[in-house]
């Protein structure tokens, strides 16, 4: 008889570092991990995403020192001089640590930034016994950025770059970020996770967002980590009265990636948008998971996620909308769509509604399909090569999700990243059976 699979993974990859943590918050997180271990697919929230890629390895701390000239060159490739966002204020981390020499000092008026080291703030860890990767981050976080926007300030755009540079295999970094918007403030953050000459590493960031009354935070993320990296990100967003959290994540890199969002609307007439797209190939696994809680009346949430999968790639979408009893007049919508370019590709979708109010409008849906043969024939009949025709159809499918981003400059950045990835991947995709 086969042994029953364990509910949690061993902490051996991080055991030595966890045994040496200091401070009340870190020890509490390490204690939670000692009770639960890391999640396996037997944990419901991780049913479709397996962390066995972390097993059998010992993850050491990422190096503190880095080659300044190599970092400048890598940053120039991530933010080319002609890029739409190249001239924006930027905050740069290298191997999980804030790098002042690569960052801008001319932040918009009313915006302040401190390093996590200068002012450590773990925010709220809601469920350390359930959210294992956040507990791991809390125990092992070394650095991160803490951005604050003064009340009433329209702060424009800031770029947050996390760069894995010249690391050996089996290192990990766990940056802890926070964004706080005062009443009536606004900010757009463009987050980019990338790598240069990096080995197999784990990037496990946590971002907490506190959005005060009538404030508006736009959060656009491009994940293009190394092909053998593991990227496991968690976002917490607390949204007050008439405030908004508007996000979009574009998943391109990593052998295993998960972007998990916990958004709670605490005030009436708040809004949350958690949109995204994933373009995956080879044996990549990409997971977008969300828990959107309506804890006040007259709030709106929207989530649209599109996936394009080729070869043996697998995508996961888990979207839960929780409507509490007080949250009358809730308007919630979710849609997950997948385009499979290979018979070996796979999509796992789990939309979920948990409703305790009786005056709501909530819906969700999912679609799965392949490229339309008639559309391909039409394009080829007009002299367009097969690979280019496929790329055009895939791009049209994904662009509809990107166009949900209202800011034109941010849409341009996403379109550029998407076009570059498509030119590399779609032409090599397996043909639809």
The pLDDT-based confidence of 121 (bands split at 50, 70, 90) is: confident
pLDDT tens for each residue of 186-235: 999 999 999 998 889 999 999 999 999 999 999 999 999 999 999 999 99
Tell whether 413 is covered by a domain.
Answer: no
For residue 306 the two structure tokens come to 């599109």
Per-residue model confidence (pLDDT) at position 317: 97
For residue 152, the enclosing domain spans 8-368
- Report yes or no on 430 lying in a domain: no
Per the domain annotation, does 312 fall within a domain? yes
The model's pLDDT over 351-393, given as tens digits with 9 standing for 90+, comes to 999 999 999 999 999 999 998 888 888 888 888 988 888 889 9
Residue 152's contacts (CB-CB under 8 Å, 6 or more residues apart) are: 110, 182, 183, 184, 185
Look at residue 102 and tell me if it is in a domain.
yes
pLDDT of residue 269: 98
Decide if 240 contacts 299 (C-beta within 8 A).
no
Which pLDDT value is given to residue 22? 87
- CA–CA separation, 364 and 360 (whole Å): 13
Query: What is the total count of domains within the chain?
Result: 1
| Cα 214 to Cα 4: distance, rounded to the nearest angstrom | 51
Indicate whether 277 pLDDT > 60.
yes
**pLDDT-wise least confident of 74-83, 119-128, 129-138, 335-344:** 119-128
- Bigger pLDDT: 5 or 271? 271
pLDDT band at 126 (very low <50, low <70, confident <90, very high): low
In a domain, 235, yes or no: yes
Flag whether pLDDT at 105 surpasses 80.
no
pLDDT of residue 91: 96
Q: Which residues of 303-315 are buried (b: 16+ CB within 10 A; e: fewer)?
A: bbbbbbbbbbbbb
394: in domain? no
Query: Is 80 exceeded by the pLDDT of residue 297?
Result: yes
Distance CA 378, CA 185 (A): 49
384 part of a folded domain: no
Q: Is 264 or 4 the better-scoring residue by pLDDT?
A: 264
pLDDT of 432 above 50? no
The least confident of 167-176, 329-338, 344-353 is 167-176
Average pLDDT (402-407) is 92
Residue 275 belongs to a domain: yes
Query: Could you tell me which residue, 387 or 344, shows the higher pLDDT?
Result: 344
Rounded to whole angstroms, the Cα distance separating 2 from 216 reads 53
Backbone angles phi, psi at 70, to 5 degrees: -65, -40
Q: What does the mean pLDDT of the chain come to?
A: 90
The pLDDT of 36-65, averaged and rounded, is 90
Q: Strand pairing partners for 172?
A: 61, 202
């Amino acid at each position: 008889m086969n042994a029953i699979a364990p509910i949690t993974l061993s902490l051996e990859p991080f055991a030595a570092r966890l045994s040496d943590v200091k401070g009340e918050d870190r020890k509490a997180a390490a204690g939670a991990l000692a009770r639960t271990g890391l999640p396996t697919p037997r944990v419901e929230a991780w049913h479709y995403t397996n962390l066995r890629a972390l097993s059998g390895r010992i993850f050491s701390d990422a190096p503190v020192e880095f080659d300044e000239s190599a970092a400048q060159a890598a940053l120039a490739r991530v933010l080319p001089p002609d890029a739409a966002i190249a001239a924006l204020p930027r905050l740069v981390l290298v191997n999980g640590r804030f790098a002042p020499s690569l960052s801008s000092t001319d932040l918009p008026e009313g915006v302040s930034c401190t390093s996590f080291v200068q002012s450590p703030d773990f925010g709220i860890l809601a469920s350390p016994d359930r959210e294992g990767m956040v507990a791991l981050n809390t125990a092992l976080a070394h650095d991160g950025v803490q951005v604050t926007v003064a009340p009433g300030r329209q702060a424009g755009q800031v770029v947050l770059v996390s760069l894995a540079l010249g690391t050996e295999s089996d290192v990990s970094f766990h940056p802890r970020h926070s964004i706080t918007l005062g009443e009536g403030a606004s900010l757009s953050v463009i987050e980019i996770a990338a790598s240069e000459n990096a080995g197999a590493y784990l990037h496990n960031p946590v971002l907490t967002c506190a959005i005060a009354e009538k404030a508006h935070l736009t959060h656009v993320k491009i994940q293009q980590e190394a092909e053998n990296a593991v990227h496991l990100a968690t976002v917490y967003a607390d949204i007050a009265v008439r405030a908004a959290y508007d996000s979009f994540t574009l998943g391109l890199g990593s052998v295993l990636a998960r972007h998990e969002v916990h958004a709670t609307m605490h005030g009436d007439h708040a809004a949350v948008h958690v949109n995204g797209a994933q373009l995956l190939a080879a044996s990549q696994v990409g997971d977008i998971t969300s828990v959107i809680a309506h804890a006040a009346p007259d709030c709106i949430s929207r989530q649209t996620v599109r996936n394009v999968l080729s070869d043996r790639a697998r995508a996961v979408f888990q979207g839960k909308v929780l409507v509490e009893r007080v949250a009358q007049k809730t308007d919630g919508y979710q849609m997950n769509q997948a385009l499979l370019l290979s018979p070996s590709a796979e999509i796992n979708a789990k939309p979920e509604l948990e409703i305790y109010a009786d005056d709501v409008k909530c819906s969700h849906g999912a679609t799965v399909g392949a490229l339309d043969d008639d559309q391909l024939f039409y394009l080829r009949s007009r002299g367009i090569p097969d690979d280019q025709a496929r790329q055009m159809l895939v791009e049209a499918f994904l662009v509809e999700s990107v166009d949900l981003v209202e800011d034109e400059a941010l849409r341009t950045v996403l379109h550029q990243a998407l076009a570059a990835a498509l030119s590399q991947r779609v032409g090599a995709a397996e043909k639809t059976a």
